[in-house]
Chains A and B, each alone.
Chain A
Amino acid sequence: EAGVAQSPRYKIIEKRQSVAFWCNPISGHATLYWYQQILGQGPKLLIQFQNNGVVDDSQLPKDRFSAERLKGVDSTLKIQPAKLEDSAVYLCASTPPGRPYNEQFFGPGTRLTVL
């Protein structure tokens, strides 16, 4: 958890509103991931970045979710418009350079509640 910063930690919105989450991985970590974790389930990968480029976004609901990573450092994940089923914890993870199998380390997460 230490080293990957996320904000906000909690967010409550009404359905159909927009929301954005921010992630700042550990300096030098080229690979960044966004996950969605619904209560009682394991995290599900939404999108993977390698530097500025998208490696995998096959599970990102692109009609409402978008993500970007400018300059290969910070990343934002946006939901517009939000639905009730988007209530979840959104986790950002990154991989330190030199790890043999891309071990991932998570930030504290943002808990989103959609009313």
Chain B
Amino acid sequence: QKEVEQNSGPLSVPEGAIASLNCTYSDRGSQSFFWYRQYSGKSPELIMSIYSNGDKEDGRFTAQLNKASQYVSLLIRDSQPSDSATYLCAVPSSGTYKYIFGTGTRLKVLA
């Protein structure tokens, strides 16, 4: 059974700090990795995609991928109270577009 694991949190950080969210996955053949943000009562919103080892930056968000260690992380710089949400990691099973989602990490940014 292919798995994607995340710490459920809550992860609490003060406003302006860096929030670091982690995700590990079991399928060594996975080639693409996605981070979704989900506000309470809303549907998931795609915020980052990463396909190659290393870092990918988009505004205040940085995704980091290490395929050898099978983890992907999301850094949020200058965290704002509006970043408070659940962050879902999604990893397609190798050879398919079937996403396996983690349970999500709840982030709370304290003003």
Q: Which residues of A contact B (CB under 8 A)?
A: 1, 31, 33, 40-45, 48, 55-56, 89, 91, 95, 100-109
Contacts and interface: CB of A to CB of B under 8 A. Distances in A.
Given A100-B51, A101-B32, A103-B49, A1 B43 contact: yes
Given A1-B42, A42-B104, A106-B45, 12 more contacts: A1-B43, A1-B45, A31-B97, A40-B103, A41-B104, A42-B101, A44-B101, A48-B97, A91-B44, A101-B97, A102-B92, A105-B46
B96 interface: yes
Contacts, number: 56
Contacts of A48: 97-98
A33 B99 CA distance: 10
Contacts of B101: 42-44
Given A101-B32, A103-B49, A43 B44 contact: yes
Given A42-B103, A101-B32, A103-B49, A56 B43 contact: no
Contacts of B96: 56
A72 to B, nearest CB: 17
B43 A107 contact: yes
Given A42-B103, A45-B98, A101 B45 contact: no
A35 to B, nearest CB: 8
Nearest to A4: B43
A31 B97 CA distance: 10
Contact of A91 (B32, B34, B43, B97): B43
